Chains A and B, each alone.
Chain A
Amino acid sequence: NAGVTQTPKFQVLKTGQSMTLQCAQDMNHNSMYWYRQDPGMGLRLIYYSASEGTTDKGEVPNGYNVSRLNKREFSLRLESAAPSQTSVYFCASSIEGNYGYTFGSGTRLTVV
């Protein structure tokens, strides 16, 4: 049982390049999330998808776009990467109600 799978695990981009971070879950969860973790900043919500077909902005959405491709998959796209987007990105999923999230193992992104 894989849980939440993120690809790639590591990526180095040049400023201005684009890329898509992939996330898939196999737990039949309705809701999916993208967070970024920066030193001293904790986990900050970028975008979320409450259910298939819906997406909403979180705390720090600027510079990102998302696609909820189907119930399993939720991708995060950087159209024009900037050094400020150097971070560790975590995807998570959950069911509704008082339950926690299941997180993926993260994507470490460096923008030079």
Chain B
Amino acid sequence: GAVVSQHPSWVICKSGTSVKIECRSLDFQATTMFWYRQFPKQSLMLMATSNEGSKATYEQGVEKDKFLINHASLTLSTLTVTSAHPEDSSFYICSASPGSGGDTQYFGPGTRLTVL
């Protein structure tokens, strides 16, 4: 149980284009979903927190207009990297939590984004 999937697992795009990454909770309803960014050999940095049906809460320093997050249902959240540039190349990981407080986060396998 508690499986989270991400699609695609890897994507290569040209600079200036937009890329959408999907995060799905497969066997539970996710009240809250989180998006992280992981640089090579570094830790996970929280980008934003989203609750179903409401606007995402972004961490300081994260551009909300560049990283669009939509949590349209209790099983799906999307991250769109708009007008991507090479510096946006990274490993993006989502997680989902079934509750709103004190619950474990279950992580997706991540999406490797390479911007040429």
A and B interact: no
A interface list, Cβ under 8 A from B: none
B interface list, Cβ under 8 A from A: none
